[in-house]
Amino acid sequence: MEEVAVIGAGQSQFSRNCGVSIRELCFEAFKEAMQGLDITTKDIDASITCSAPEYDKQRTPSGLISEYLGLTPSPAFYVESVCSGSTTGLRVAYSLIKAGLNKTVAVIGFQKMSEISSRDAAERMGRGGDIIWEAPFGITMPAGYAMYAQAHIDTYGTTEEQLAKIRVKNASYGAKNPKANYRKELTLQECVTSEPVARPLKKFDCCANADGASCVILARADIAKRVTKIPIWVIGLGSATDTMTMSGRKSLTGLRCAQEAARQAYEMAGVKPQDIDVAEVHDCFTIAELMAYEDLGFATAGQGTRLVDEKQTYIGGKIPVNVDGGLLSKGHPIGATGGSQIRTLVRQLRGEATEAQVKDPEIALSHNIGGVGQYANVTILRR
Please choose, out of 186-194, 207-215, 235-243, 291-299, the segment that lies near a copy of itself by the rule CB under 8 A. Answer: 235-243
Considering the candidates 83, 206, 257, 284, report the single residue annotated as catalytic.
83
Q: Judged by CB under 8 A, which of 80, 277, 283, 295 binds a copy of itself? A: 80
Please choose, out of 215-223, 233-241, 303-311, 359-367, the segment that lies near a copy of itself by the rule CB under 8 A. Answer: 233-241
Q: How many residues bind a copy of itself (CB under 8 A)?
A: 61
206 is catalytic: no
Residue type, 86: S
Residue 95 in the binding site for a copy of itself (CB under 8 A): yes
Residue 91 in the binding site for a copy of itself (CB under 8 A): yes
Residue 263 in the binding site for a copy of itself (CB under 8 A): no
Residue 247 in the binding site for a copy of itself (CB under 8 A): no
Identify residues 14-33 at the interface with a copy of itself (CB under 8 A): 21
332 is catalytic: yes
Identify residues 322-381 at the interface with a copy of itself (CB under 8 A): 370-371, 374-375
Report which of 188, 183, 161, 165 is spatially closest to residue 173, judged by C-alpha positions: 183
CA end-to-end span of the chain: 19
Starting at the edge strand that comes first in sequence, how are the strands of the sheet with 278-281 ordered? Answer: 46-50, 104-112, 211-220, 4-11, 232-241, 375-382, 363-370, 278-281
Is the four-CA dihedral 292, 296, 300, 306 of positive or negative sign? negative
Give the pairing of strands 278-281 and 363-370: parallel
Residue 77 in the binding site for a copy of itself (CB under 8 A): yes
Residue 139 in the binding site for a copy of itself (CB under 8 A): no
Q: How many CB atoms lie within 10 A of CB 312?
A: 17
Q: Judged by CB under 8 A, which of 3, 116, 122, 124 binds a copy of itself? A: 124
Residue 99 in the binding site for a copy of itself (CB under 8 A): yes
Q: b/e map of 129-147 (b: 16 or more CB within 10 Å)?
A: bbeeebbeeebbbbbbbbb
Helix, strand or coil for residue 180?
A: coil
How far apart are the C-alpha atoms of 315 and 189, rounded to whole Å? 22
Give, in degrees to the nearest 5, the angle at Cα 235 between 233 and 239. 125
Please, which residue, 7 or 319, has the CB nearer to a copy of itself? 7
Smallest gap, in angstroms, from Cβ of residue 228 to a copy of itself? 22
Residue 12 DSSP label: P
Residue 146 in the binding site for a copy of itself (CB under 8 A): no
Residue 236 in the binding site for a copy of itself (CB under 8 A): no
Is the four-CA dihedral 49, 50, 56, 59 of positive or negative sign? positive
Residue 113 in the binding site for a copy of itself (CB under 8 A): no
Residue 241 in the binding site for a copy of itself (CB under 8 A): yes
Paired strand residues for 196: 202
Residue 3 in the binding site for a copy of itself (CB under 8 A): no
Considering the candidates 152, 282, 332, 367, report the single residue annotated as catalytic.
332
Q: Side-chain half-sphere of 155: how many Cα atoms within 13 Å?
A: 16
Q: Judged by CB under 8 A, which of 74, 253, 286, 344 binds a copy of itself? A: 74
Please choose, out of 83-91, 160-168, 173-181, 325-333, the segment that lies near a copy of itself by the rule CB under 8 A. Answer: 83-91
Per the CB < 8 A criterion, the answer to whether 292 and 282 are in contact is: yes
What is the per-residue binding string for a copy of itself in 193-212, x denoting contact by CB under 8 A? --------------------
Give, in degrees to the nearest 5, the angle at Cα 125 between 112 and 143. 130
Q: Where are the alpha helices (DSSP H) in 270-309?
A: 286-295, 304-309
Residues that bind a copy of itself (CB under 8 A): 1, 21, 46, 52-54, 57-60, 62-64, 66-67, 71-82, 85, 88, 91-92, 94-101, 124, 127-128, 130-132, 237, 239-244, 248, 256-257, 260-261, 370-371, 374-375
Q: Which sequence positions are flagged as catalytic?
A: 83, 332
